[in-house]
Structure 1
Amino acid sequence: MAAAAAASQPWCGGFSHRRRRRGRSSAAVACSEELSRDRYDAEIQRRCKAGEVDASMALLGRMESVGLRPAEPSSAALIAALGAVGRTLEAEAIFLNIGPPPPSPFSFNALLRALLLKGQLAHAHHLFEEMRQRGCTPNRETHLLMLDALSRANRADEAWAAAADMKARGYKLGAAAYTRLVRLCRVNGMWRRAAALVLEMQAEGLRPGRAVYHEAIEAMGRSGRTVEMAAVLESMRRAGVAPGAATWASLVRWHCRAGEVDVALGLLREMLGQGVYPDPKVLLGLISRLGEQGRWTEIRDLFEEMRVWGFRHSGAVFAALADIYGQYGAFAGPEQLVTALKSEGVALTPAVFCALANAYAQQGLCEEAVRVFKQMEEEGIELNLVMLNSLINAFGIAGRWQEARAVFEHVKEAGITPDVISYTALMKAFVRAREYHRVAEIFREMEVAGCTPDRRARELLNDVSMILQQRGRSPQKVSPPPCTKTL
């Protein structure tokens, strides 16, 4: 039986002195006398609800030892409690002992949720198919669980098929499912479908929330559709949904990348006027664009406006980033820059350090970027994947692909799983160094590692493939030369 091992474990001890004085608790009664099946079921469900998994399994063991079987609601409660703590094997064993009659959708959903919580999508898919084969009709919750899991795994085609199946069966998606689908559009650059989903939500009588609007704006920004972004922003305003800091940051960032610096400046001023704290990355992108156009007077004016509006700390970060771009030259290096920020009372968060490192990286100043991270470590902040990605990018811009590869290997050796940004940054480093044959290697490594390539990574691979075809060569496997760590 599923609870055979747990049956011998004591489960009725450890009660407080206060409870002893009041009389015997339900657990004490269960220890001293045999309970009916209904009493067992009620006690198991109560303990599962309280998160007492071991005590619930011990009760199940006692129940089976006297020849009783739990009712299906008790089994479903046990499956849910075990799944919440990752004990899926025991949950499956209990599921297999249900019946006759066969399990209901409620029990199937409990096990399905347990498997998905542990990331066992393939196993969950088999369970979903088994549910249909056994004549148990999936309900709305079942479909929503699968749709959410497929969206999280970025399995776009299967997610769209699951959504279409739900609609065909007359089930409404709901706001959470629409949010997941719009986020899936953002990841895959499907801006038209994101816009259609927002309109579909409104037609269904659902009010799109801030998260839906933000994901739609991100999807359009990644495709360079700034006109459509402005339309979504206007739709937000008409609906009475105020953009959050992340949405403002997306609007400014994508307009900057599209070369619409004046629009980005207007959006930043509107953001500041509403009292929203600007992210250092937003300031970095804007300074970069203005600096490329030689508009240093406007940089200085914006700095003064931030001071007037009371964004003293943001203004200090803004001045530091502008200094990195070489306009003022007030600081000799990262150490003096960090000291100046501390004197202004700026909280030196990982976001601030990342913005400083990115500013140096965009100038190809690798050593300075490394010194920023050393300063960060001295402040007691540990390196994370975002910061290491910045360092890979810095070496890539400088054409030093060996060091970029060394940082990438350091990431893996440190037990950190590289993400799609890590792989794409390394691919770009190889492209800048004209090491085209290594790009396909990294792309294959990314797929083998289970990391889904994004649109940018696929575009890089296609560009490199065309270059190699023009040269009459095909991508070959070349093992990277040994290189020393830079960290």
Structure 2
Amino acid sequence: MPFRKSMKKYGRKLSINSFRMIIHVFVFEGMHREVYALLYDIVFYFYKARFNLYEIFHLFSAKESVFVVDIHILIKVFAANRMHDCSIDVVKQARKSGLHPSIYSCNFLLKCLVEASIKVHVVNLFKEMKSIGPLPNGRTYTILMNFYCSYHTRIEKAEKIMEEMQKRQISPSVVTYSTYISGLCRVGEADFALDYVRDLRDNNEPLNCYCYNAIIHRFCDTGEVNKALSIFDEMKSFGIIPDIYSYSILVDRLCKCQNIKKALNLIEEMKANNIKPTIVTYSSLLNGFCKIEEMELAIKTFYELENSGYKFDQLAYSILINGFCAQGNLTLACKLLVEMIKNNAVYAYNAVINRLCKDKKPEKALEVIPIMLKRNTLHVASFNSLIDGFAKQSDSEKAYMLHENMQKLGIYPNVVTWTIFVNILCMAGQVGKANELLRDMIMMGLNPDTISYTSMMAGYCKNGYVKEAFKLFKKMPCMPSCYL
């Protein structure tokens, strides 16, 4: 009988006693999955019924090894479901009762606390493990290393972890090393990280491509692509095989630097090593083609890959759409947009709308709206681009019409929308109405930003109301932009 039904039928006390026996039988028989499922059910019944979760601990009162297994599973139930205070309390109560949580239990809890980024609990549990037990092992230190290098970047703490491991003669794993190296790169110590990797290599310590990838990525980020390539070659020369990420980092940076030839060579090398380039890799290549204005080559590559089985996402489509828009080839940009709809990709409508409006073709951009309406992807940013496009064409009538239509569709103006209308009114010399609109924004709970105030001040100045502009300047909660 399911636990919830038993509780209703027999009452809490009887069910707890009954299920206590069942849990221990399951543990004795090694049925740990069944124990986890049952404890999960009990925990969430207590939680939803607002019973004291502490009572669950009384399921375990003996000191035999079977009960220690129970405790581990209970810690796991609480920790895995982000009930961190409860899991910590189980550890404390177990110690008080003479039960000693295993290193596996404590490491699991520590990992969950790290992932939840609860610094106080992480530090306290680690200290307790060192003082009360179980003593930290290599896995414990790796979890702490991850905490200080990934969640809370404190490289000095990470260094102390390495020193402590050395003192306790615990050999760091390749994961420990790669995590530490990533942390060094994250704080800008790529040169030190490289020297550290070379020392590890000279001492025959375990290394893998992840150790090198972090360094390669950092040098790529700082624009030192030649140094990154040199480290990539060094890695290969010592028998460490690059993975898909090693290649993708370099292909992306080379394409951004417009070194398409070298990027293509790396892609061919990937294929030769039986590493299949991903959509991300090819998206970088497409971006590279767009940067050097080789749009014919970009679209040719795009369709060849599509025909070979690749399914492109929003990123690839957006790259090409933006590329064609930048060249003024709106026909092909719109053609790709239609293909996106057919392929059910995530749509980049705004890229087309923005470009058409920028090219003073807001009427053409309006043709995209029915498509977006049909796909239920209309939002305020789309209307803002169109309203601004018509405003810059001095077609305030169309701008106001769009304003009405968007509200009819349940899309409400934001600060950007109202700022555009402040500009429209100021350009038409209607600074009084523009100022009223600014006050209305505040009344509606929309806080005007720097652009809003700057637009209003510019409107005052252009229409000869310098005193009013100065008064507004003194009231502004933020400084105006250099637009003035």
Q: TM-score, normalised by structure 2?
A: 0.58
Number of the residue aligned with 1:283? 387
Summarize the Cα distance change of 1:119–1:372 in structure 2 as closer, same or farther, 3 Å threshold: farther
Q: CA deviation at 1:115?
A: 4.6
AA paired with 2:380? Y
Q: Which of 413, 430, 445 matches 1:313? A: 413
Structure with the higher fraction of residues in helix conformation:
2
AA paired with 2:163? G
Q: How does 1:29-428 map to 2 (within 5 A)?
A: 41-51=138-148, 54-65=156-167, 70-99=172-201, 100-101=203-204, 103-116=207-220, 121-151=225-255, 158-243=262-347, 247-258=348-359, 260-268=361-369, 270-271=371-372, 274=376, 275-278=378-381, 280-289=384-393, 291=394, 297-313=397-413, 316=418, 319-326=421-428, 329-332=429-432, 335=435, 338-342=438-442, 346-349=446-449, 356=455, 380-381=477-478, 388=482, 391=483
Q: CA deviation at 1:98?
A: 1.5
Q: Cα deviation per residue 1:440-468 (whole Å; 9 max; x = unaligned)?
A: xxxxxxxxxxxxxxxxxxxxxxxxxxxxx
Q: Which runs of 5+ in 2 are unaligned?
A: 1-87, 102-124, 150-154
Looking at structure 1, the residues matched to 423 and 217 of structure 2 have their Cα atoms a distance apart, in angstroms, of: 46
Does structure 1 conserve the Cα–Cα contact (< 8 Å) formed by 2:388 and 2:399?
Answer: no
Secondary structure (helix, strand or coil) at the match of 1:173 reads: coil
Summarize the Cα distance change of 1:157–1:366 in structure 2 as closer, same or farther, 3 Å threshold: farther
Q: CA deviation at 1:187?
A: 4.7
Does structure 1 conserve the Cα–Cα contact (< 8 Å) formed by 2:290 and 2:323?
Answer: yes
Summarize the Cα distance change of 1:281–1:202 in structure 2 as closer, same or farther, 3 Å threshold: same
Q: CA deviation at 1:301?
A: 3.9
AA paired with 2:430? A
Secondary structure (helix, strand or coil) at the match of 1:141 reads: helix
Q: Cα deviation per residue 1:55-106 (whole Å; 9 max; x = unaligned)?
A: 5533432444577764544322322343344443553343122245474434
Looking at structure 2, the residues matched to 76 and 69 of structure 1 have their Cα atoms a distance apart, in angstroms, of: 14
AA paired with 1:138? P
Looking at structure 1, the residues matched to 281 and 335 of structure 2 have their Cα atoms a distance apart, in angstroms, of: 23
Q: CA deviation at 1:268?
A: 4.2
Does structure 2 conserve the Cα–Cα contact (< 8 Å) formed by 1:189 and 1:220?
Answer: no
Number of aligned residue pairs:
355
AA paired with 2:388? L
Between 1:124-133 and 1:59-68, the stretch displaced more is: 59-68
Q: Cα deviation per residue 1:359-379 (whole Å; 9 max; x = unaligned)?
A: 979xx969999x999969955
Q: CA deviation at 1:307?
A: 4.5
Q: How does 1:460-471 map to 2 (within 5 A)?
A: none
Higher Rg of the two aligned structures: 2
Looking at structure 2, the residues matched to 84 and 256 of structure 1 have their Cα atoms a distance apart, in angstroms, of: 40
Looking at structure 1, the residues matched to 176 and 412 of structure 2 have their Cα atoms a distance apart, in angstroms, of: 58
Does structure 2 conserve the Cα–Cα contact (< 8 Å) formed by 1:313 and 1:344?
Answer: no
Number of the residue aligned with 2:40? none
| Percent identity of paired positions between Structure 1 and Structure 2 | 14
Looking at structure 1, the residues matched to 239 and 323 of structure 2 have their Cα atoms a distance apart, in angstroms, of: 40
Secondary structure (helix, strand or coil) at the match of 1:51 reads: helix
Q: Cα deviation per residue 1:168-214 (whole Å; 9 max; x = unaligned)?
A: 54432212223333444455544334423432442343322223222
Q: Which runs of 5+ in 1 are unaligned?
A: 1-15, 392-485
AA paired with 1:109? N
Does structure 2 conserve the Cα–Cα contact (< 8 Å) formed by 1:316 and 1:346?
Answer: no
Secondary structure (helix, strand or coil) at the match of 2:379 reads: coil
Looking at structure 1, the residues matched to 188 and 132 of structure 2 have their Cα atoms a distance apart, in angstroms, of: 32
Secondary structure (helix, strand or coil) at the match of 2:439 reads: helix
Looking at structure 1, the residues matched to 463 and 261 of structure 2 have their Cα atoms a distance apart, in angstroms, of: 41
Looking at structure 2, the residues matched to 59 and 191 of structure 1 have their Cα atoms a distance apart, in angstroms, of: 51
Looking at structure 2, the residues matched to 260 and 139 of structure 1 have their Cα atoms a distance apart, in angstroms, of: 46
Secondary structure (helix, strand or coil) at the match of 2:324 reads: helix
Q: Structure with the greater relative contact order (CA < 8 A, sep ≥ 6): 1 or 2?
A: 1
Secondary structure (helix, strand or coil) at the match of 2:413 reads: helix
Looking at structure 1, the residues matched to 369 and 272 of structure 2 have their Cα atoms a distance apart, in angstroms, of: 44
AA paired with 1:46? I
Secondary structure (helix, strand or coil) at the match of 2:380 reads: coil
AA paired with 1:49? N
Q: CA deviation at 1:216?
A: 1.6
Summarize the Cα distance change of 1:90–1:322 in structure 2 as closer, same or farther, 3 Å threshold: same
Q: Cα deviation per residue 1:6-37 (whole Å; 9 max; x = unaligned)?
A: xxxxxxxxxx999777369776666799x9xx
Q: CA deviation at 1:123?
A: 3.7
AA paired with 1:236? M
Summarize the Cα distance change of 1:269–1:97 in structure 2 as closer, same or farther, 3 Å threshold: same
Number of the residue aligned with 1:467? none
Summarize the Cα distance change of 1:74–1:257 in structure 2 as closer, same or farther, 3 Å threshold: closer
AA paired with 2:366? L
Q: TM-score, normalised by structure 1?
A: 0.57
Q: CA deviation at 1:225?
A: 0.4
